[in-house]
Amino acid sequence: MRALSGASFEESLRFSMIGSHRIDFVYMTRVLLLLLSLVALQSLRYANGSTAALYSVHAKALQSNQQLTLDQIRRLLEANHPDENIARDIRRLGLAFRPNRKTREDLRKLGAGDFTIEAILEVEARAAYEVYVNERQDARRLKLGKEFLLEYPRSEHVKDVVAGNLKASQAIFNAEFQSFSRSPNAASLDQLLAHGREILDQRPENSVVVEVTTQLAVATARGMLGNFYSDLEKSREYANQALKLLQETPSQSVAEPEANNKLRAATHTRGLSSNCFWNPHSS
């Protein structure tokens, strides 16, 4: 009986230990699952909280009409905010930073869509146009204008920039002509010819063509007199073009009759119609 009782006790103890191990294993498994669930819930809560905080900041910006920062746009992209909504808010609020090509490339890598990029381009073009308009130095303004046309060819300001560039080019050309007139030389004539051709290539109105071709004809004539220019045919072409426009459309070639008369006087007093250089029947 004792042996049996002892065996029963040992057996019961063994089953008790096995049962306790089984209980421990199940318990630990459940605890581990609970811990994993807790971590997942905390992560989800953090993510939801971050997104909620982001939208809260975004909502405050909308309510106060504050411009969007670059960091806000990045966070909206990371939160998969709709492309159309980001673009709408950019147009509505504007940007608190000056974007450029690199900014757009970086945002594109973060997932910015076409609507967002287009909205940023619009804001960027407006800022660039403001800088262009406020520039008072002709050479600098012309440089900014050329860069603007290359960077923002679809901007609503393209027409104004083209007109502004032509005006700046004329001012620079006139200053170069005055400088050449005071001290004629080959280098300044080459510069004047290059700038004049650039203006004529833009096909401006007749008044501009008359003024530019007149000055080019006079400058090339002085170059031939000074033995540092030899293209007689080109010089004659400039002179004939100016005279033809003056004779055919005198009322349209310049804005005022007085200015027209001054141009005519300039062409004759400086030798534009003299046989010595441009008369085709003299050769």
Low-confidence ranges of the chain (pLDDT < 70): 1-65, 249-283
State pTM to two decimals: 0.65
Output the pLDDT for position 39: 53
Q: Quote the tokens at residue 140.
A: 């600098």
Output the pLDDT for position 19: 53
Q: Which one, of 265, 260, 262, lies nearest residue 250 by Cα?
A: 260
Q: Any idea of the CA torsion for 218, 224, 229, 231, to the nearest 10 degrees?
A: 80
Output the pLDDT for position 53: 44
* Locus of tokens 């004659």: 236
Q: For residue 183, how far is the Cα from the chain centroid?
A: 39
Q: Which residues have a Cβ under 8 Å from the Cβ of 72 and sit 6 or more positions away? A: 57, 58, 61
Q: Quote the tokens at residue 107.
A: 């945002």
Q: Which helix (H) or strand (E) holds 4?
A: helix 2-64
Q: What is the pLDDT of residues 49-83, one digit of tens each?
A: 444 444 444 555 555 568 999 999 999 999 999 99
- C-alpha 227/C-alpha 229 separation (Å) is 6
